[in-house]
Amino acid sequence: MLNAIGVGSVDELFTAIPDALRITGLDLPPALTEAQVAQTVRRLSEDNRPVGSRSFLGAGCYQ
């Protein structure tokens, strides 16, 4: 794909950005498997509380 746009490397795509503005690395946690992500989302969703039968979507703007 780099050849299709006439670029020799991924780094060459960013030569217009000054080095002082480039991000050198991201402080990200280690990658998770799909099962770990599903478990994390499930655990987070347990904190959700139902609001009962009332819905405040749209704040009444639909009327």
The rounded distance, in Å, linking the Cα atoms of 2 and 19 is 21
| Contact indicator for 22, 16 with CB cutoff of 8 Å | no
pLDDT of 25 reads 85
pLDDT in tens, 14-61: 899 998 998 888 899 999 999 999 999 999 999 988 767 676 777 766
pLDDT confidence band for 8 (50 / 70 / 90)? very high
Domain locations in the chain as residue ranges: 2-47
| Contact indicator for 2, 8 with CB cutoff of 8 Å | yes
pTM: 0.44
Angle of CA points 33, 37, 40, to nearest 5°: 140
